[in-house]
Structure 1
């Protein structure tokens, strides 16, 4: 079933959040019960104070014994209420961060299942912002909500009950003025949500730009892009300041507006209470109780108004996280685990059967692509930049699915195979290297975690990377960072990783582009040995690396315009021959 992907409003976000919170319903119930205990104990204190005040009748007419007993009761109630509030705070912390932990885990799991097209279309900084910054904002909102929302709601109900026991008329007066607070809260909430959402989106843009500028700092400096980068940042930063200021403005209306209503209600209760005392319907102690309750009754509206503002911010952030989670997954989660039983045999046959593909529907790229690679065949893809060589590899690995036609592996449509099982058949070395934060050993054993040191060292020797690995401070245990190795050394490690995996089939996409000529020759010999008996696909701009291929496909504008062996293609004196001789002409 296709998942919802459109922008969410605050209600939709909260509706999706509730089932996640519901997993911890026991903690939720305990929090509500403790909030009730704390509130009832706090609200009973004013009654005892009122009783103590009524024991002061006049000069020399003070019942100190009863007042002393009342003070002891008050101390006990305050201590018990504080203890209940403290335990409730611990529970709310656990409830909040367990919920946010679950959301982050769902977001990360979904990120692993999203199609490459989604990741290509969304800046990585924005995705990082959703998973980290937005969930942080969500946790702040939830913590405040759990801490004050339950307590506030129970306080309002309990206060009304206690007030009714003192004076029905004054309680009704308070109730008549209550809707004004709701109107104010709704006005603030409706305006603040949009501002908080824009603030969150702009923060994502800013994170993305910062990430780009930091990762590409050498390019920025080399091309004198600093001023333009600063201007782009300033524009985004100005928008962020604008939305943040507007969100803060609307949220800051909460306290002054609700405090004004509080003061109005307090004054009316005092006036009505004074008139009741004069009429003999109320004692001075009773009025002090009602004034205390009037203040207690309206205080939660202040808190709830603040909570609603924070919850609007939390909802705006939650909606961005849930938009990521709700994206249609590329595969079912079980597909991620894979089924190695379905993996194809070594040296499998690969067939491209009338394949069409386009990244954008109105811009076709691969058109009527046909290829049969027999087991053990070495296939080279050559052609000018943008002709579809890497796209062909993307389709073979199911990073994207074909629009028309089919790709068959040993007679099975690869769309009928779990992606993990399909990709276990291929060892892939790309032009762009990727190493994780970890040791050299962890990076080399990325696809074969149970590899022994002997296996790793043997693979490193075959890939000609052992020479520099053993010179590292801690050898295989040396931690790697972004700039700890040269581009060539990183690529050697990626080649070693494939050597260690010893896969049934190989994909080499400009695999030696960052390596010196002498090492490239040695690596090429290692690849020649590794490719024996394995179906291999080689993407290369340097045509000298593909002269030994069993089949060379010459591509242009997404189509195969020539095919054959190196000598045959040179004899044709066509596009390949011109391409080949042009490279050597530049060297001469």
Structure 2
């Protein structure tokens, strides 16, 4: 399911918002047409009800005696029309809700897809909680608005127009007065409505900050507890919550002015219509039934304007949300989409004078990599060593194209990664990080990332391949067993991550310190699984322990973003002057920090 391309970042906010509306409501034009037909028919029936009531009242007051049969027929028609109005209104409500939720569900999916396509710079600037609020909170406000907008606003506009026309048909003078009243009311409410848009936007922003604050504290709950910082973070939560409360109440007060103004104007409007009806009836210009008719049509003027008043408050929320969603869709990734595909089979990797800074536009930004060059032949494993902060993880992020190099080229299979389609690249490159993300879902969903096309047999084969066959046999429902987060050891989580990679069968595998938190026995099991995983694949292993790279084909040592050493592992180990040999003599990287200084 693909949506229309998001509006450009240079579009004016209103134009961008209209573009979003066209993109997601446009494909539903036939459902919207059906909805319009329901609303038109319902409005027509609603306008006939006062006419039936007028005839009933006038015939009931005939001095020669009322025609009971006619009165019965009029009453039956009135009841049938009233039931028809209710059925049409219910149908329109259903279709309107279907239109609204279909449009906003597409918007949710496209918004999430767009967020996932943004480069890491954008994700670093926003907390996950804020992103969740943008996707769920803002779009929910839009869905509530869309699902009722057509029924309430369009239907109200039809009913309002029909009621005003009926006033003209009944009495020209009353029709002119009602037209002026409606015009003044709508203009006044629209002007007042605009004052609530900006406070509502600020309310949504403070809500996003609140979500972000809570998400960050929950993510770091272990540290907060262990350091006894609960009271400090609670005070911080109260400050953020207090700001959200103040902005919410202020925004509500500004929006409620619309409703208060509507009440005052309609109090004056009813007095005017009732005064005109009494005066015309006393003068003999209209019948008692027509006087009732005028009152009924005045209620039909009040009802749609009251609906419009309520929707204007929702419009304020939707307008603020639509603006924020449009701003998000207007963001552009700093990673332009390429068009080329990777060649089949094993892939070699080449860095050519690669430099990188996380803040390339900032003259104060310190470069992380400086002129890095090396070549990793297809099917070989590279052990990547270096002190903390030397640029190891940054180097691997350039391979999977989470970032693009500031200078130089990264070539995979002979192709500059900037020329590749991102989806195609990331299908062929798999990364296993130190912290494995597990979901509260079944084992198969955790390994397949919820892909229904992956069979249970494939998942079971992958688990056996990484040495988790006995663990799988103990699960009550096999791969369908729910896997609550936190239920696995660090070693089991890493093995599950290996199984994920095997299911994808990539050409390049990157392991970021896979054995950094494991005991020797678990590390041995992980090493066996790693050997099977890397067989026949091009691989980069960031090592925390030298044993992890003992079977690597090549070694690359980084220091302060520069290549200190690059060569075949066996040759470097045999050269007593090499950095790698010095590390082997020191025993561990932790003891050899000074060697790489």
Aligned: 1:387 with 2:386: no
SS of the residue aligned with 1:52? helix
Match of 2:37?
A: 33
Distance in 1 (CA, whole Å) between partners of 2:275 and 2:500 is: 83
Distance in 1 (CA, whole Å) between partners of 2:22 and 2:454 is: 44
The question of whether the paired residues in 1 share the 8 Å contact of 2:335 and 2:404 is answered with no
Correspondent of 1:123 among 127, 132, 143: 127
| CA apart distance, 1:261 | 1.1
Of 427-436 and 261-270, deviating more is 427-436
Check 1:199–1:11 CA distance in 2 against 1; reply closer, same or farther (3 A cut): farther
The question of whether the paired residues in 1 share the 8 Å contact of 2:572 and 2:581 is answered with no
Match of 2:345?
A: 345
SS of the residue aligned with 2:475? coil
| CA apart distance, 1:168 | 0.3
Aligned: 1:463 with 2:466: yes
Distance in 2 (CA, whole Å) between partners of 1:358 and 1:2 is: 29
Please show how residues 168-567 of structure 1 align to structure 2 within 5 Å: 168-328=172-332, 342-346=342-346, 348-361=347-360, 362=362, 363=365, 364-445=367-448, 459-461=462-464, 463-499=466-502, 503-528=506-531, 531=534, 534-564=537-567, 565=569
SS of the residue aligned with 1:555? strand
| CA apart distance, 1:12 | 4.0
Correspondent of 1:77 among 81, 93, 113: 81
C-alpha distance after superposition, 1:400-437 (max 9, x if no partner) = 11222111223222222333433444443221212344
| CA apart distance, 1:49 | 2.2
Distance in 2 (CA, whole Å) between partners of 1:529 and 1:75 is: 78
Check 1:157–1:477 CA distance in 2 against 1; reply closer, same or farther (3 A cut): closer
Distance in 2 (CA, whole Å) between partners of 1:318 and 1:273 is: 45
Distance in 2 (CA, whole Å) between partners of 1:492 and 1:288 is: 79
The question of whether the paired residues in 2 share the 8 Å contact of 1:507 and 1:537 is answered with yes
Of 500-509 and 95-104, deviating more is 500-509
Distance in 2 (CA, whole Å) between partners of 1:567 and 1:57 is: 114
| CA apart distance, 1:386 | 1.8
Check 1:425–1:131 CA distance in 2 against 1; reply closer, same or farther (3 A cut): closer
| CA apart distance, 1:242 | 1.4
Distance in 2 (CA, whole Å) between partners of 1:42 and 1:474 is: 59
Distance in 2 (CA, whole Å) between partners of 1:168 and 1:454 is: 79
Distance in 2 (CA, whole Å) between partners of 1:74 and 1:96 is: 32
| CA apart distance, 1:496 | 3.3
C-alpha distance after superposition, 1:30-82 (max 9, x if no partner) = 22222222222222222232233333558775555544443233222212222
Please show how residues 90-101 of structure 1 align to structure 2 within 5 Å: 90-101=94-105
| CA apart distance, 1:239 | 1.6
The question of whether the paired residues in 2 share the 8 Å contact of 1:555 and 1:561 is answered with yes
Of 353-362 and 323-332, deviating more is 323-332
Check 1:580–1:21 CA distance in 2 against 1; reply closer, same or farther (3 A cut): farther
| CA apart distance, 1:352 | 0.6
Match of 1:581?
A: 586
Match of 2:112?
A: 108
Of 243-252 and 562-571, deviating more is 562-571
| CA apart distance, 1:445 | 5.0
Check 1:144–1:530 CA distance in 2 against 1; reply closer, same or farther (3 A cut): closer
C-alpha distance after superposition, 1:483-541 (max 9, x if no partner) = 22122211121123335555443322101123221231343345346545543312123
Correspondent of 1:44 among 43, 48, 52: 48
| CA apart distance, 1:160 | 1.6
Check 1:574–1:556 CA distance in 2 against 1; reply closer, same or farther (3 A cut): same
Distance in 1 (CA, whole Å) between partners of 2:76 and 2:589 is: 99
Q: Aligned residues, how many?
A: 582
Structure 2, unpaired ranges of 5+: 593-597
The question of whether the paired residues in 2 share the 8 Å contact of 1:562 and 1:576 is answered with no
Aligned: 1:152 with 2:129: no
Distance in 1 (CA, whole Å) between partners of 2:502 and 2:51 is: 80
Match of 2:576?
A: 571
| CA apart distance, 1:354 | 1.0
SS of the residue aligned with 2:401? coil
TM-score scaled to structure 1, two decimals? Answer: 0.89
Structure 1, unpaired ranges of 5+: none
Match of 2:595?
A: none
The question of whether the paired residues in 2 share the 8 Å contact of 1:8 and 1:323 is answered with no
TM-score scaled to structure 2, two decimals? Answer: 0.87
Check 1:248–1:496 CA distance in 2 against 1; reply closer, same or farther (3 A cut): same
- Report 1 or 2 for greater relative contact order, CA contacts < 8 Å, sequence distance ≥ 6: 1
The question of whether the paired residues in 2 share the 8 Å contact of 1:130 and 1:204 is answered with yes
Q: Please, what is the CA RMSD of the aligned residues?
A: 3.3
The question of whether the paired residues in 2 share the 8 Å contact of 1:355 and 1:368 is answered with yes
Distance in 1 (CA, whole Å) between partners of 2:300 and 2:7 is: 45
C-alpha distance after superposition, 1:446-500 (max 9, x if no partner) = 5998777777566545533334333334443322121221222111211233355
SS of the residue aligned with 1:431? coil
Check 1:230–1:461 CA distance in 2 against 1; reply closer, same or farther (3 A cut): same
The question of whether the paired residues in 2 share the 8 Å contact of 1:10 and 1:315 is answered with no
The question of whether the paired residues in 2 share the 8 Å contact of 1:510 and 1:539 is answered with yes
| CA apart distance, 1:329 | 5.2
Of 488-497 and 460-469, deviating more is 460-469
